[in-house]
Structure 1
Amino acid sequence: MNFLLYISYDYGFPIVQPLEEEILKRGHTVAWFLEFEESKKKLKSNQKILNTVVEVIAYNPDAVLVASNEVPHFFPGIKVQLFHGFSVNKRSENKGHFRIRGFFDLYCTQGPSTTNRFKELEKKHKHFKVVETGWSKVDILFPVNENNSNHTPTIFFASTFTERLSIAHDNQVFKELVKLIESENWNWIINLHPKMNSEIVKKFQELEKFENVTYIPFLENLEPLKRADVMLTDTSSIITEFIIQKKPVITFKNNQPKECFINVLNVDDLKKSIEFALTYPTELMHKIASFVKEEHPYADGKSSKRVIDTVEEFVNENQKNQLKPKPFNIIRKLKIRKKFGFFNFFKNSL
């Protein structure tokens, strides 16, 4: 089988890279199509890049694996939605995680919280199939490192970039953070949103002068989350990616806190909240386990395997022929053709 990995933005790399490994392990062929030239620099010389629509059509993929909202409908092969994040209820259903744009044949969902709703949509629309596989991006987190009381605790500090929601923009939090770095026997890993204000970034980067602080400007993958025992954050979407390891998360002034979060409203409570989280209290861990069961119940690190199993079955059994035709979406499809400068309508339907 020929697989095509489709990348719109760099956040797609840690989602599709483990899938590439699984594809090659099975003896299939894999190629990449990246929208931006800069992104191509991230690939190795032995990774096949297709630079034009004509090259993609000649390659004739059986399946196109996508970690973004849209994909050129005129690419050959089934279109598989992998998702670029968890559903975090930041947007309305019509504009967010559950919006059906009419491009995909197969949705590989992460857990019951998304599967159940997508199954309802599958029944309603009948032009795509939904299979729960888990999320390939988080395979690297498993198996989870056991909590060892003898090691120096590590706190992962993360922040969103929206100023009114961002823990990194709070000067009192920064002062308290410096105090904790200097006084407590804790290691810190700091990662800010890629769109964070440059002055804020500079201020946090300077914390690397302390031996117990590591600043990570861009998460190439989720491995650093594996090294941390607890997370301190705000409303960042990285929360779910961390907590599915069944590790505590402390949020600061989260506007929609879950029961399984330790939500702090006062800077003076940060230290005792971290100390509390590091004990992995039983009641909190039960709440976390319930949350994880709904969001991403797979802790075997084999979601990539399940995705490729599902795609192989879909293609080999020609399941696309069992689906209804997709909606025309003429305006959206014309916009995509214009974006790629491809107007050969004989190669595919409008």
Structure 2
Amino acid sequence: MKILLFCENKYAVDIVRPLQAEADRQGGHEVLWYVHQKKIPVFPLKDEVRWTHSMQEAYDFHPDAVFAPGNIVPYYLSGVKCSIFHGYAAEKRDQFHIRNYFDIYMTQGRYFTEEFLKLQKKYRDFEVLETGWTRQDWIASHRHDFDQEREELLKRHQCERIVLYAPTFSPRLTSLPKIKEALVKLVDEKRVLLLIKLHPLTRQEWVEEYRQLAASHQNIVFEDDFAVSKYMLMADAMVSDTSSTIYEMLLLDKPVITVDTVSQDPYWKDIHDVGLLTAAYDEVFNSQMLTEKRQWIIANYDPYTDGHCAERMLQGVAEYIKRHGVPAKRKLNLWRKYVSIKTFGRVK
């Protein structure tokens, strides 16, 4: 099978990487990464995989399958176009918005599957396949890889726990402008080591502000790595606002505190006054109610922690091709075609 891993945004790299690993494990596949140069000018895997910035080269590759953790895939590409999502945030407005670019929606768990099956009945031009989410494969393979690094950090900083601060980049939703002093208080009062991992699209002025904060405090560390999964595995708890990484942390059965989340019924501790952050930190480790809510998320959002999500995705595409063949392109209305061309350009 000829597989195109489609990376429009930087976060996509970490999501599609397990598909490369599974294709390599199976053998017999040819894999090309499309990397959108405007949003990913420096590709972190440039020396490890076959890749291109050229949409023309991606088109000439004639893929049998295209895997995309984004909202748009060029309609003119050949192949079964598979949406594998870029997170779990069901409360975000675009999570269940159908833009008609995909042949298969590969869902993470039954909560998402049930919603997309309803949409399938309405639109009748795509299929739904529950596979789990690829980043869980990476977690299954690396769950204990950073245990020693974690213990060394705690010993070096003489702290009891690690807290990850991973806010969203959206100026409307982020906690970055107002939480800094509360984070410092938490670190000082609770013997906490704070790891700051900002979204790749965060405003540069906020990036510099928090980089300087880390430089001025011995128990605050600013992380530049493009992937957040490592730090979720190392941390005991997370502080955020409205980010899909919240659910990834809950799926690890670890507590989360948010500030002014947009979720109407959060399955974690949400506060509206940043002055309550330290009290919330004490609460989340001892609340039976919050523990039970995390267990519900694990059962319904993504129970596939077996390390075989990418395998299920490749199998699902192969079965789709057996039934329908390889699509030459996706049929779209003129507006969707225009958006696709405007975003990614034309091909010959």
Shorter-normalised TM range: 0.7 to 0.9
By how many angstroms is 1:207 displaced? 3.2
Judge conservation of contact 1:136–1:304 (CA < 8 Å) in 2: yes
Judge conservation of contact 1:159–1:167 (CA < 8 Å) in 2: yes
Relative to structure 1, the CA distance from residue 266 to residue 35 in structure 2 (aligned partners, 3 Å threshold; closer, same or farther) is closer
Structure 2 equivalent of residue 251 of structure 1: 258
Where 2:46 maps in the other structure, the secondary structure is coil
Structure 2 equivalent of residue 4 of structure 1: 4
Distance 1:137 1:39 in 2: 23
* Aligned residue runs from structure 1 range 193-208, under 5 A: 193-208=199-214
Instruction: State the Cα RMSD in Å.
Output: 3.0
Does 2:285 match 1:278? yes
By how many angstroms is 1:188 displaced? 1.3
Range moving further from structure 2, 2-11 or 260-269 = 260-269
Range moving further from structure 2, 304-313 or 3-12 = 304-313
Structure 2 equivalent of residue 224 of structure 1: 231
Structure 2 equivalent of residue 67 of structure 1: 69
Relative to structure 1, the CA distance from residue 248 to residue 338 in structure 2 (aligned partners, 3 Å threshold; closer, same or farther) is closer
Structure 1 equivalent of residue 136 of structure 2: 138
What are the Cα deviations for residues 169-228 of structure 1, in whole angstroms up to 9, with x where unaligned?
11xx42232233233222211123334344433332223343332212453241111111
By how many angstroms is 1:230 displaced? 1.0
Relative to structure 1, the CA distance from residue 245 to residue 343 in structure 2 (aligned partners, 3 Å threshold; closer, same or farther) is closer
Relative to structure 1, the CA distance from residue 301 to residue 187 in structure 2 (aligned partners, 3 Å threshold; closer, same or farther) is farther
Relative to structure 1, the CA distance from residue 124 to residue 193 in structure 2 (aligned partners, 3 Å threshold; closer, same or farther) is same
Relative to structure 1, the CA distance from residue 335 to residue 263 in structure 2 (aligned partners, 3 Å threshold; closer, same or farther) is closer
Tell which structure's C-alpha radius of gyration is larger: 1
With normalisation by structure 2, the TM-score equals: 0.84
Aligned positions, number: 333
Relative to structure 1, the CA distance from residue 175 to residue 335 in structure 2 (aligned partners, 3 Å threshold; closer, same or farther) is closer
Relative to structure 1, the CA distance from residue 211 to residue 98 in structure 2 (aligned partners, 3 Å threshold; closer, same or farther) is same
Which residues of structure 2 form unaligned runs of 5+? none
Read off the aligned partner of 2:97 and give its amino acid letter: R
Where 1:64 maps in the other structure, the secondary structure is strand
By how many angstroms is 1:44 displaced? 2.8
Identity of aligned residues (%): 30
With normalisation by structure 1, the TM-score equals: 0.84
By how many angstroms is 1:98 displaced? 1.9
By how many angstroms is 1:163 displaced? 4.5
Judge conservation of contact 1:32–1:49 (CA < 8 Å) in 2: yes
Does 2:29 match 1:21? no
Relative to structure 1, the CA distance from residue 276 to residue 340 in structure 2 (aligned partners, 3 Å threshold; closer, same or farther) is closer
Relative to structure 1, the CA distance from residue 282 to residue 155 in structure 2 (aligned partners, 3 Å threshold; closer, same or farther) is same
Distance 1:56 1:82 in 2: 19
Distance 1:343 1:276 in 2: 56
Distance 2:59 2:175 in 1: 47
Give 4+ residue runs of structure 1 displaced > 6 Å after superposition.
none
**Equivalent position to 1:336, from 327, 337, 340:** 340
What are the Cα deviations for residues 82-120 of structure 1, in whole angstroms up to 9, with x where unaligned?
1122243232xxxx1222222211111111221111112
Judge conservation of contact 1:234–1:253 (CA < 8 Å) in 2: yes
Distance 1:291 1:87 in 2: 12
Judge conservation of contact 1:156–1:188 (CA < 8 Å) in 2: yes
By how many angstroms is 1:15 displaced? 1.0
Read off the aligned partner of 2:334 and give its amino acid letter: I
Distance 1:39 1:221 in 2: 19
Where 2:49 maps in the other structure, the secondary structure is coil
**Equivalent position to 1:305, from 303, 311, 318:** 311
Relative to structure 1, the CA distance from residue 258 to residue 318 in structure 2 (aligned partners, 3 Å threshold; closer, same or farther) is same
Structure 2 equivalent of residue 36 of structure 1: 37
Read off the aligned partner of 1:71 and give its amino acid letter: V
Which residues of structure 1 form unaligned runs of 5+? 345-350
Structure 2 equivalent of residue 159 of structure 1: 167
What are the Cα deviations for residues 2-31 of structure 1, in whole angstroms up to 9, with x where unaligned?
111111121211111111111111111111
Distance 2:170 2:341 in 1: 33
